[in-house]
Structure 1
Amino acid sequence: MGEWIVNELPKWIVVTVWLLINTGIFIGTFFSYKNDIEYFYLRLIVGDALCFARASAACLNFNCFLILLPVCRNFISFLRGTCARCHRARRQLHRQITYHKYIAYMICLQTAIHIAAHCFDFEFLIEAYDSPTKSIQAITNLDTSNNGTWLNPVRVQGTDATREVFKTIAGVSGVIITLCLILIVSSSTETIRRWYFELFWYTHHLFIIFLIGFVIHGIQGIIRHQTNVSSHNPEKCYTRHDEWGTSPDCKIPQFAGSSPKSWIWILIPVIIFIIERGIRFYRSLQQVVITKVVKHPSNVFELQIRKKSFYADPGQYIFLHCPSISLLEWHPFTLTSAPGEETITVHVRRVGDWTEKLAKSCHVDEGEFQEAWKMPKIAIDGPYGTSTEDCFRFDVAVLIGTGIGVTPFASVLRHVWKKYSTRRNELQLKYVHFYWVCPSTSSFEWLQELLNSLESQMAEMGSANFLSHNIYLTSGWDSNQAKNIVLHNDEERDAVTGLQHKTHYGRPQWDKIFSDLAVFHKGMKLGVFFCGPKSLSTSLHSLCNKHSTESVGTRFYYNKENF
């Protein structure tokens, strides 16, 4: 229960507060329009459809105010810096993409309610001409004039609702922004992001059209309110329509369109976003040079880059831009170089059109060293923080990566060892457990040099127990390799990796691993950092909570990489 309170409760407090605000806005707006005397006649025609439409619109204003903030990376980095001493608040900033998705789901829900309500609105407005209620007919048949007498925007009897919708700015803009929303959400699935990133990237930028349409959606002011309730109280005069204009206390009702307010809500986040883009543009102009390209197995290649005055914390990531491939696209890559190194290093897996084109531009398959002037021009945006920055806040760090998901931890391992070897007495971190699950032996090769170096350095300093690394090979060996593995099993170094720690074959038994960690580090705080697929992330998250509850004093804090 203790781990749930620390690890889960802050998230659900944030979500609950956000849901309560949405609920409060919806209910408050609903009853405001239901009870406001200025909308008496409009309610008389369309009923509660007006209230649902305006309540959902108010929630859309609030959530469109929020939707841009989690993806303003420099803004989040600024907040992360101001929360440096508040670990719990800082951890919530690592969930910014999760919150961004929740807000998007709420926008979809409120959009659906808004569309449904206005569909009923237009049907009721058309039917008002044939209404058996004399008051509805009277208010509908008010003459259209420059003084704004009319209330019903449908001015043709017996018309079609679809035709009337497309006669209005609200109708046309509503269709456009709804189509944009459908494309943005449908292209944001994990499969499309993973295998068709360019499609996800381009369709996501339809948010510009969405926001423009959102701002102009209400500019025509077809939702009209009564302006002369003091000289025409609708609750008293709506049944006396024969006296309108002749009785001093029932003058002809006057109406005016409501002024649009959506732009007020999104003004601040749009300004923040524009500043964000300005910072990114400035960074894109700074000189960046590719100094070396290294080809690795498993369709992975390494870029070594130099940029003046660049510094990054362990586990952070950058965005790469190559104008010769695309003038607009920026792609995220985790830094595998340690803080303080002269060269920035990233490992790129060749999946998708953009990474393949980058590999060709960098002459990866040519097998010969290419001079810097032959390399394509690139730009860097970042670095940006991830949860691995907080690994020093725990007694024990448990690093878990699958496949190429190990890249954040290459930088972390280098940095952790550097700090431990120079300032071990000042560090809260006492142990590091590294787990890497990979499908083929060739995938290990590019990290072997780092692990071998760390093993040698720890042995020299007598700190061999500080870092334990566990490599799990899930496939990729044949019968001959299996015989060779068995034959050399008793040797000091592993037959596959050449490391002192032996390779495990098959998938990890995570429940037993966490149980052993809880016993071995009894009473300590363990930070679990994971980079990999969602299915395994869910399992590891549950195990953190389970073994924190079942153990005595041991606490597992779960952190997942999001970028």
Structure 2
Amino acid sequence: MNSQFGKCYNQGFKYFTRVIWCVVSGLLFWRTYEHYRTGLEYVYLHEILGTWLCLARGSAAVLNLNCAVVLLPMCHTLVWLLNRVVRRVTVNTRWLKMETKSFHIFIGYVILLTTGVHVAAHVVNINSFCENFHEEFLEVNPFSYKPKIYSIVFGTVTGVTGILMTLILLMIFLTSLKVVRRRCFNTFWYSHRIFVVFYLLFVFHGFRGPLRKQINVDKHIPGCHRNRIDETMVIITSNTTDNSSIYISNETCSEMPTFVPIGCHTWLWVGIPVLIYICDVVCRIFRRRHSAEISDVRHICDDIIEVSFYNSDLKPRPGQYVFVNCNQISTIEWHPFSVVQVPTICNNNIFKLWIKSSGDWTDQFVEKTKGTKSGSCCEDPMQRYPTVQIDGPYSSSMENILKYKFALCIAGGVGITPFLSHILYLAEDRGKNKKIKLKCLHLIFAGRNEDILQSSFETIQKSCEKVNGRVDIDVKLFYTGKLTKNKNAVTSAKIQNGRPQLGQIFKNMSAKTTFANKRCTVGVFACGPVAMCTDVARYCNTYSTLHTRYAFHKESF
């Protein structure tokens, strides 16, 4: 067992991208820092602000870069297109779904950290503007008179927009914490929509700011004698407190220095990414124009329903997911659900979703389906199924199951849905798709609800009969809830009590692959509670060797 090898194999790309991004951001900070430290046009401004000017501008450049890129991982259509392209080349596309979300979160932390540096630097700069008023050249100051702190903070576009952006960023960060996101998802969702206001403020933040640069250094070298027109040798220090940058010039001063605001170039950074995001939103709006008709609703248990839809335009593949919207509940909320059954000719282009009552939106949706009927057979609008819109399908790492020769699928609760879609697809495909490489599928399903276990077992059992041995499907079901009087489901030959022993399962899998092949890669797919997925990832790292590599995938929205 080599956990380090497994970590490098499964998480190497994640840490590699993080390191590369930190290096890029660090180089950008250093380049901007040096530009403002050594640039002749900033010498007089540097005399007022010192090193804090360089810190503020360096962090501003890093903020421009990260605020531009943070939108791209959330462009679902872009990620879907990239997934389709990469899937034609290699099976290793799990990072496209798993890493886009985590990379978005990582950049968010970089933005938060850099904002702290930027705000701290400007707090010192504001005080320096008030204390170190440049009496010799008034134009380099933000005001023609010695200002007060509140004049700079509340009397400039930069100060007002900076305060508002900081407050918005703190609101987005605090509502994005896992504790808040799980308990108050709507608060998290709505607060993230304020990013539109943040970007509007971000673009105008540097407009006519207090920082000014000299534009005539060719005719007035900073530090030369202003009253003499002859050639003069001067020594120029760019920082009155830190004599690290010294310029020696032998030039003629022909005029007084001229200063202009540094200017705002944020739009150059965020322009293209924002345009891409807007195009992505437009594509999603266009795809959401088509509504899907609910043809049937089946209650699997008290809090889980199976919803059947008919939409001839929707062609999801096994493992993909869609976003669902119900105008009768909310016009702007879209929630992701894995497809349980993909539409085919055999099932009359019907696709199915399992929806679990686990929040405000899902609670209301489940409630609205009780005692209702399909619109085609019910004249009373109050008794019809709610109208829904579907956005998708979108790619997921669960799509790769059919591309592995060996697949180990581990599900918890309603997380069985992407695996059911593959088993149902294999049953209806009947060997027509020659691109399927899957030869052996091991499914481990643990749940504390007897009804969902029994329903899943019946579906899998019927599908396995249609597969006819083309794929070796081994299913193990585990009941993790309290024992009840309904012992038929719990004591079934296929349903065991207690939690699955993942360590033993991986040992058996390793032994099987060792006997069958000299070297192979096992696709491990986990969908369920966070704790379960974390344990599966740890076992993948622990049991991965040069002979048997466990490629970890998990369902993530």
TM-score by length of 2: 0.88
2:316 to 306, 312, 317: 312
Report whether the alignment pairs 1:410 with 2:414.
no
Deviation at 1:122, TM superposition (A): 0.3
Q: Number of paired residues?
A: 522
**Higher mean C-alpha deviation, range 530-539 or range 213-222:** 530-539
2:31 partner letter: G
Change (3 A) 1:168 1:266: same
Change (3 A) 1:424 1:250: closer
Report whether the alignment pairs 1:512 with 2:504.
yes
1:496 partner letter: A
2:246: which partner in 1? none
2:460: which partner in 1? 451
Deviation at 1:306, TM superposition (A): 1.2
Report whether the alignment pairs 1:290 with 2:294.
yes
2:185: which partner in 1? 197
2:540: which partner in 1? 544
SS at structure 2 position matched to 1:450: helix
Q: Is 2:226–2:253's contact at 8 Å kept on the other side of the alignment?
A: no
Separation of aligned partners in 1, 2:111 and 2:434: 50
1:209: which partner in 2? 197
SS at structure 1 position matched to 2:298: strand
- In structure 2, stretches of 5+ residues that fail to align are 233-251
Deviation at 1:86, TM superposition (A): 3.1
1:489: which partner in 2? none
1:9 to 2, 7, 12: 12
Deviation at 1:308, TM superposition (A): 2.3
SS at structure 2 position matched to 1:507: coil
Change (3 A) 1:197 1:27: same
1:532 to 503, 528, 543: 528
Change (3 A) 1:498 1:305: farther
Deviation at 1:530, TM superposition (A): 0.9
Separation of aligned partners in 1, 2:24 and 2:160: 30
Higher relative contact order (CA 8 A, sep 6+): 2
1:115 to 119, 123, 127: 119
Q: Is 2:10–2:552's contact at 8 Å kept on the other side of the alignment?
A: yes
SS at structure 2 position matched to 1:429: coil
1:466: which partner in 2? 472
1:28 partner letter: R
Report whether the alignment pairs 1:384 with 2:394.
yes
Q: How does 1:346-357 map to 2 (within 5 A)?
A: 346-357=353-364
Q: Is 1:53–1:118's contact at 8 Å kept on the other side of the alignment?
A: yes
Separation of aligned partners in 2, 1:367 and 1:418: 30
**Higher mean C-alpha deviation, range 518-527 or range 377-386:** 518-527
Per-residue CA deviations over 1:327-350 (Å, capped at 9, x if unaligned) read 211111111113524112111111
Q: Indicate the RMSD between aligned Cα atoms, in angstroms.
A: 2.5
Deviation at 1:301, TM superposition (A): 1.3
1:521 partner letter: T
SS at structure 2 position matched to 1:422: coil
1:146: which partner in 2? none
Q: Is 2:427–2:466's contact at 8 Å kept on the other side of the alignment?
A: no
2:338: which partner in 1? 334
**Higher mean C-alpha deviation, range 513-522 or range 1-10:** 1-10
Per-residue CA deviations over 1:431-459 (Å, capped at 9, x if unaligned) read 1011112123133244233122124335x
Q: Is 1:228–1:254's contact at 8 Å kept on the other side of the alignment?
A: yes
Separation of aligned partners in 1, 2:60 and 2:525: 40
Separation of aligned partners in 2, 1:123 and 1:88: 56
Per-residue CA deviations over 1:223-245 (Å, capped at 9, x if unaligned) read 210011122211x33xx577799
1:336 partner letter: V
1:475: which partner in 2? 481
**Higher mean C-alpha deviation, range 309-318 or range 444-453:** 444-453
2:494: which partner in 1? 502
Q: Which has the higher strand share?
A: 2
Deviation at 1:250, TM superposition (A): 6.2
Q: Is 1:444–1:497's contact at 8 Å kept on the other side of the alignment?
A: no
2:75: which partner in 1? 72
Separation of aligned partners in 2, 1:360 and 1:399: 31
SS at structure 2 position matched to 1:345: strand
1:254: which partner in 2? 258
Separation of aligned partners in 2, 1:266 and 1:347: 39
Q: Is 1:125–1:154's contact at 8 Å kept on the other side of the alignment?
A: no
Deviation at 1:254, TM superposition (A): 1.0
2:235: which partner in 1? none
1:359 partner letter: V
Q: Is 2:445–2:478's contact at 8 Å kept on the other side of the alignment?
A: yes
2:136: which partner in 1? 138
Separation of aligned partners in 2, 1:20 and 1:354: 42
Deviation at 1:189, TM superposition (A): 2.5
SS at structure 2 position matched to 1:329: coil
2:554 partner letter: K
Per-residue CA deviations over 1:85-114 (Å, capped at 9, x if unaligned) read 333763321221011111111111111111
SS at structure 2 position matched to 1:57: helix
Change (3 A) 1:40 1:517: same
SS at structure 1 position matched to 2:219: coil
2:551: which partner in 1? 557
Change (3 A) 1:476 1:224: same
Per-residue CA deviations over 1:295-326 (Å, capped at 9, x if unaligned) read 22141112111112210111111111112221
Separation of aligned partners in 2, 1:73 and 1:261: 28
TM-score by length of 1: 0.87
Change (3 A) 1:256 1:89: farther
2:29 to 26, 30, 45: 26
Separation of aligned partners in 2, 1:158 and 1:59: 29
1:441: which partner in 2? 450
1:361 partner letter: K
Q: How does 1:389-404 map to 2 (within 5 A)?
A: 389-404=399-414
SS at structure 1 position matched to 2:132: helix
Report whether the alignment pairs 1:429 with 2:421.
no
What fraction of aligned residue pairs are identical, expressed as a percent?
30
Deviation at 1:280, TM superposition (A): 1.7
2:243: which partner in 1? none
Separation of aligned partners in 1, 2:355 and 2:555: 17
SS at structure 1 position matched to 2:387: coil
Separation of aligned partners in 2, 1:339 and 1:10: 34
SS at structure 1 position matched to 2:538: helix
Q: How does 1:11-160 map to 2 (within 5 A)?
A: 11-87=14-90, 90-94=93-97, 95-129=99-133, 136-139=134-137, 142=138, 150-157=139-146, 159=148
Separation of aligned partners in 1, 2:212 and 2:91: 47
2:195 partner letter: F
Change (3 A) 1:208 1:367: closer
Per-residue CA deviations over 1:375-410 (Å, capped at 9, x if unaligned) read 222211100010011112211111111112222222
Per-residue CA deviations over 1:51-91 (Å, capped at 9, x if unaligned) read 11111111111111111111110111111112123337633
1:217 partner letter: H
Change (3 A) 1:175 1:290: same
